[in-house]
Amino acid sequence: MPTKRANHLYIEKGTNTVQCITRDERQRLGGVDMYMYPNMNLNTTQLLVSDAQKDGIQKLVVGAVIRIDNRFLLLERVDTDFMAGLVELPSGTVDTSESLFSALEREVREETGLMLETIDQYLGSFDYVSGSNKNTRQFNFLIKTLAGDIRLEPTEHQAYHLIETSSKVFHTYNISEETIKVLNTALQHISLSSDY
């Protein structure tokens, strides 16, 4: 078991005691499919998925709120894709038999080239109808990534933006109201946290 450190709680293998730990600690613990924030555990994520199924949701998506130098990382969809030009969170579909957290780690890497370090907070969800006409629920998480270069998947995104929500240009981007609400929820968490 890794040594406890300030601001880094841990997971006890075989239990639902899951707190924020680092990627390295996760690997030392045997690659447990969790390295989350306080009060979030596998049962909680299973409940989110179960509730979505009960609500008639046909497709699950995970979204990542990433802060780099006190700005949010948002991606701009290509002009030839569904919701062309939309500026959105890095996000993507949860594959069959994949957990929300595994999907989040994979999607962050695929969409941005960045490696997920920690998942700090669940920020809520929103629903929409996908390009394949499926009722979709996007679960959003505030995360930290390891330092690295941002690399986009050019068939999905044409640009990335590092934006402060308080800047004048923020409201000139084509950002959905749902994404703005998620970013505001993230700001509330960040203002209460000593980790940001």
Radius of gyration in angstroms for the set of CA atoms belonging to the chain, rounded to a whole number: 17
Structure-token pair, residue 98 = 């994949």
Beta-carbon count within 10 A of 46 CB: 12
CA nearest to 61, candidates 84, 88, 26: 88
118 SS3 class = strand
The beta strands (E) that lie in 26-168 are given as 59-68, 71-77, 87-88, 91-93, 116-129, 135-145, 157-163
Tell me which DSSP letter residue 15 carries.
S
Rounded distance, CA 14 to CA 135, Å?
Answer: 34
Q: Which pLDDT tens digit goes with each residue over 93-148?
A: 999 988 898 899 999 999 999 999 888 889 999 999 998 999 999 999 999 999 99
Rounded distance, CA 166 to CA 168, Å?
Answer: 7
**Confidence class for position 6, pLDDT limits 50, 70, 90:** very low
pLDDT on residue 120: 86
**Bridge partners for 43 per DSSP:** none
Q: Pick the residue with more confidence: 45 or 34?
A: 45
**Confidence class for position 163, pLDDT limits 50, 70, 90:** very high
Q: Which pLDDT tens digit goes with each residue over 48-95?
A: 999 999 999 999 999 999 999 999 999 999 988 777 889 999 999 999
Pick among 3.90.79.10, 2.60.40.10, 3.40.50.1370, 3.40.630.10: CATH of 57-192: 3.90.79.10
Q: Pick the residue with more confidence: 65 or 30?
A: 65
Does the pLDDT value for residue 20 go beyond 70? no
**Confidence class for position 11, pLDDT limits 50, 70, 90:** very low
Average pLDDT of every residue of the chain: 82
Beta-carbon count within 10 A of 135 CB: 14
| Residues contacting residue 45 through CB under 8 Å, at least 6 positions apart | 99, 100, 101
Q: Which pLDDT tens digit goes with each residue over 168-193?
A: 989 899 999 999 999 999 999 998 87
